[in-house]
Amino acid sequence: MKCHDSLFLRGMLISALFSKTSKEVRDDADSRNADFLVRGGYIAKTMAGVYSYLPLGLRVLRRIEQIVREEMNAIGGQEILLSALSSREEWQKTGRWDDFDALFHLPGVGDQEYALNPTHEEVIVPVVRQFVHSYRDLPFACYQIQTKFRKELRAKSGVLRGREFLMKDLYSFHQDEENLDEYYAKVQVAYNHIFERLGLLNRTYLTYASGGSFSKYSHEYQVLLPKGEDTIFISEEAENHGKRIAINTEIFEDGKTTCPVTGGSIFRKENASEAANIFKLGTRFTEPFGLHFLDENNEQKLVIMGCYGLGISRILGILAESFSDEKGLVWPGAIAPYTYYIIPLAKKQSDAAYKKAHALYEKLCKEKQECLFDDRIDQSAGSRFADADLLGVPTRIVVSEKTLISNEAEIMERKTGEIKKMDFQQIVKG
Q: Give the interface segment with its own copies, choosing from 44-52, 262-270, 271-279, 300-308 (CB under 8 A).
A: 44-52
Check binding of 54 to its own copies (CB under 8 A). yes
Report which residue type is found at 196: E
Instruction: Please give the residues from 366 up to 395 whose contact with its own copies meets the rule CB under 8 A.
Output: none
CB of residue 394 to its own copies, shortest distance in Å: 22
Of 194, 206, 212, nearest to 243 by C-alpha is 206
* Helix or strand run (H / E) with residue 329: strand 328-329
Q: Give the interface segment with its own copies, choosing from 1-9, 201-209, 246-254, 319-327 (CB under 8 A).
A: 1-9
Rounded to the nearest 10°, the torsion over CA 284, 287, 292, 298 is 100
Of 318, 369, 351, 327, nearest to 10 by C-alpha is 369
What is the distance between the alpha carbons of residues 3 and 13, in angstroms, rounded to a whole number? 8
Check binding of 3 to its own copies (CB under 8 A). yes
Check binding of 413 to its own copies (CB under 8 A). no
| β pairing state of 230-235 and 267-282 | antiparallel
Q: Give the interface segment with its own copies, choosing from 108-116, 195-203, 228-236, 237-245 (CB under 8 A).
A: 108-116
CB of residue 226 to its own copies, shortest distance in Å: 27
Binding mask 251-270 for its own copies (x = CB under 8 A): --------------------
Q: Give the interface segment with its own copies, choosing from 12-20, 223-231, 271-279, 345-353 (CB under 8 A).
A: 12-20
Check binding of 75 to its own copies (CB under 8 A). yes
What is the distance between the alpha carbons of residues 128 and 86, in angstroms, rounded to a whole number? 15
What is the distance between the alpha carbons of residues 284 and 274, in angstroms, rounded to a whole number? 23
Among 95, 108, 260, 333, indicate the residue that binds its own copies (CB under 8 A).
108
Among 29, 85, 189, 422, indicate the residue that binds its own copies (CB under 8 A).
85
What is the distance between the alpha carbons of residues 30 and 385, in angstroms, rounded to a whole number? 25
Of 343, 322, 342, 346, nearest to 332 by C-alpha is 322
CB of residue 428 to its own copies, shortest distance in Å: 24
What is the distance between the alpha carbons of residues 38 and 26, in angstroms, rounded to a whole number? 7
What is the distance between the alpha carbons of residues 20 and 123, in angstroms, rounded to a whole number? 40
CB of residue 95 to its own copies, shortest distance in Å: 19
Check binding of 65 to its own copies (CB under 8 A). no
Render 345-405 in DSSP notation, one character per residue. Answer: E-SSTTSHHHHHHHHHHHHHHHTT--EEE---TTS-HHHHHHHHHHHT-SEEEEEEHHHHH
Check binding of 298 to its own copies (CB under 8 A). no
Instruction: Please give the residues from 120 up to 149 whose contact with its own copies meets the rule CB under 8 A.
Output: 123, 126-128, 130-131, 137-142, 147, 149
The smaller minimum CB distance to its own copies, of residues 55 and 264, is found at 55
The smaller minimum CB distance to its own copies, of residues 144 and 207, is found at 144
Q: Give the interface segment with its own copies, choosing from 101-109, 282-290, 314-322, 348-356 (CB under 8 A).
A: 101-109
Q: Using CA of residue 418, residue 419, residue 423, residue 427, what is the dihedral sign?
A: positive
Using an 8 Å Cβ cutoff, are 131 and 137 in contact?
A: yes
Binding mask 150-189 for its own copies (x = CB under 8 A): -xxx---------xx--------x-----x--xx--x---
Instruction: Please give the residues from 320 up to 339 whose contact with its own copies meets the rule CB under 8 A.
Output: none
Render 10-21 in DSSP notation, one character per residue. Answer: TEEETTT-SS--
Among 92, 94, 106, 264, indicate the residue that binds its own copies (CB under 8 A).
106
Residues that bind its own copies (CB under 8 A): 1-4, 8-9, 16-20, 22, 41, 44, 46-47, 50-55, 58, 61, 73-76, 78-87, 104-109, 114, 116, 123, 126-128, 130-131, 137-142, 147, 149, 151-153, 163-164, 173, 179, 182-183, 186
